[in-house]
Amino acid sequence: MATTLDRITPFKNEPVKSFADPADVAAMEAALEEVKASFGRFYPLVIDAERVETKKRIRSLNPAAPSEIVGETASASADDAQRAIDAAQRAFEGWREVPARERAEFLFKAAAAIRERRFLYDALLVYEVGKSWPEADADLAEAIDFLEFYGREMLRYAQPQPVTPIAGEENELVYIPLGVGAVIPPWNFAAAIMIGMSSAAIVAGNTVVLKPSSDSAIIAAWFVDLMHELGLPPGVLNFLPGSGSEIGDLIVAHPKVRFISFTGSKEVGLHINELAAKPEKGQRWIKRVVAEMGGKDAIIVAADADLDAAVEGVAVSAFGFQGQKCSACSRAIVEEPLYDAFLEKLRERVAKITVGDPSRRGTYMGPVINAKALETISKYIDVGKSEGRLVAGGKRREGDGYFLEPTVIADISPNARIAQEEIFGPVLAVIKARDFNDALAIANGTEFGLTGSVYTSDEKKIERATDEFFVGNLYFNRKSTGAMVGAHPFGGFNMSGTDSKAGGRDYLLLYLQAKTVSRKV
């Protein structure tokens, strides 16, 4: 018998644009113009599909030119947050009954619409968070992948589930949604993570209060508007920009919120986890918390590594999107025999990295996200200079934009601050290891456990690292960034989070609960 699944093509990853095609270049230039012409536009809250203005506003600035206001959003008050949660709760009663197939259809339609407007979304990311063209497009491609993947996953979970037959009974297990969820994404994969977490929640039959990052609320406004354009019922996806420190606690602690889906820093994640654990008056459930947090990701360069490949992998993992990926390499751990040669080649490679306005084609590194990040990262560079030897970079670039040079600091001890604390910027600590044992111990010697990579040609080292390198996403002879939906389900161990494995087959379970129904026949 044909099932709905038969009519859906198997999931495949959306190709990322390299901008080698002149048509893509022209389209991107036009999109950048178009988005620039919309600068300063105001985006209200969206509660129950109604647009709500607020006196207070949040400005989204272009980090490459902070005097440019990419857009302004409303900023929710406690009352607005309360109304958004109420709206989501009312909408849940209807949305939970909508067949999985119809819910999935919204995700497939959204993927198609984003593909059509791809360059506009790309351009917005370039301006709003300072991504280079290919980095922006990779973010959008991942967002499309999440929509396509989770749509298909929901169809799979809606199929009859296998249970062991028992004579005299008819048994089934069905997956049902949880309720109202707070979705709280970071700014660094401003499209992919925001759309991934929201769409997973929605397709599973939940309703959402989306509190975007204050640094990337415009792209979230675009997505929420798009979903309503596609006919998503009111209240299913509410847009609630506001300061995390002002309305975050209220949303997280609210007794009608059933789950919190968070991606961001360790500090905020742990705070949310703690707050969510305490039941409020009238609360009838234990809240579920999905918290994906920071990293201190290492690439091990073994003595038998292909040196050029290792240098390239470290450079792109450390400095792609200015090192502002949770998967970014912030520690290169190099076995002693290759250490000096590695450093010299890395210095040469890093000297070729272009830092500048990401709206220009060909710029590799743009600005860091905001003034506060610039300050924090600069302080870490000072700390690093006192802890080791500056090999490359170390300075801010001239001008208003938040530009930092790609910075390499060598001879760092494994317990130095810049080897232990997440910096979230273009700063790489290089650490010398006596041998492979030492390298593995150093790699595992932080509280985090998100991604890691090993460059080696030795099968034994590959086996050992497979067993012992304690990270959620481990790679060999390739960069530590660039996880692909479906192929590399993503999430970390230890203080890197709950290991939710976004883009994997287990992910939707986090937004569902299973009900067993047994009938005597």
Among 60, 198, 261, 456, binds Mg ion (CB under 5 A): 60
Residue closer to ligand NAP (CB basis): 186 or 393: 186
- 89 contributes a contact to Mg ion by CB under 5 A: no
Closest distance to ligand NAP from the beta carbon of 186 (Å): 3
Helix (H) or strand (E) segment spanning residue 359 = none
Cβ 48 vs Cβ 61: under 8 Å: no
Closest distance to ligand NAP from the beta carbon of 370 (Å): 9
Max CA pair span of the chain: 78
- 377 contributes a contact to ligand NAP by CB under 6 A: no
Among 252, 419, 471, 508, binds ligand NAP (CB under 6 A): 252
> Which residues are known to be catalytic?
292, 326
Residue closer to ligand NAP (CB basis): 356 or 472: 472
| Distance separating alpha carbons of residues 134 and 362, to the nearest angstrom | 9
Tokens coding 385: 């200079």
Closest distance to ligand NAP from the beta carbon of 458 (Å): 30
* Footprint (CB under 5 A) of Mg ion, residues 212-241: 215
Closest distance to ligand NAP from the beta carbon of 252 (Å): 5
- 225 contributes a contact to ligand NAP by CB under 6 A: no
| Distance separating alpha carbons of residues 379 and 251, to the nearest angstrom | 33
Among 249, 304, 306, 411, binds ligand NAP (CB under 6 A): 249
| Distance separating alpha carbons of residues 325 and 311, to the nearest angstrom | 18
Among 243, 386, 437, 457, binds ligand NAP (CB under 6 A): 243
Cβ 371 vs Cβ 455: under 8 Å: no
| Distance separating alpha carbons of residues 327 and 451, to the nearest angstrom | 6
| Distance separating alpha carbons of residues 466 and 489, to the nearest angstrom | 16
Q: What is the radius of gyration, based on Cα positions, of the chain?
A: 23
Closest distance to ligand NAP from the beta carbon of 192 (Å): 9
Q: Which stretch binds Mg ion (CB under 5 A): 124-132, 176-184, 340-348, 512-520?
A: 124-132
- 510 contributes a contact to ligand NAP by CB under 6 A: no
Cβ 129 vs Cβ 187: under 8 Å: yes
Q: Which residues of 121-139 are buried (b: 16+ CB within 10 A; e: fewer)?
A: bbbbbbbbbbbbbbbbbbb
* Footprint (CB under 6 A) of ligand NAP, residues 340-369: none
Going residue by residue from 399 to 428, which x/- string records binding to ligand NAP, judged by CB under 6 A? -----------------------x-x----
- 473 contributes a contact to Mg ion by CB under 5 A: no
Q: What is the DSSP letter of 110?
A: H
- 489 contributes a contact to ligand NAP by CB under 6 A: no
Place of tokens 């607020």: 54
The phi, psi pair for 517, rounded to 5°, reads -120, 125
Helix (H) or strand (E) segment spanning residue 519 = strand 512-520
CA atoms within 13 A on the CB side of 117: 16
Closest distance to ligand NAP from the beta carbon of 364 (Å): 20
Contacts made by residues 374-377, CB under 8 angstroms, sequence distance 24+:
374/402, 374/404, 376/423, 376/424, 376/425, 377/404, 377/423, 377/424, 377/425, 377/426, 377/427
Q: Which stretch binds ligand NAP (CB under 6 A): 221-229, 261-269, 411-419, 462-470?
A: 261-269
Among 63, 71, 134, 295, binds ligand NAP (CB under 6 A): 295
Q: Which stretch binds ligand NAP (CB under 6 A): 43-51, 143-151, 289-297, 359-367?
A: 289-297
φ/ψ region of 481 (left if φ > 0, alpha if ψ in -120 to 50, else beta) reads beta
Binding-site ranges for Mg ion (CB under 5 A): 60-61, 128, 215
Binding-site ranges for ligand NAP (CB under 6 A): 184-189, 193, 211, 213-215, 243-245, 248-249, 252, 263-265, 268, 271-272, 292-295, 326, 422, 424, 450, 492, 496-497
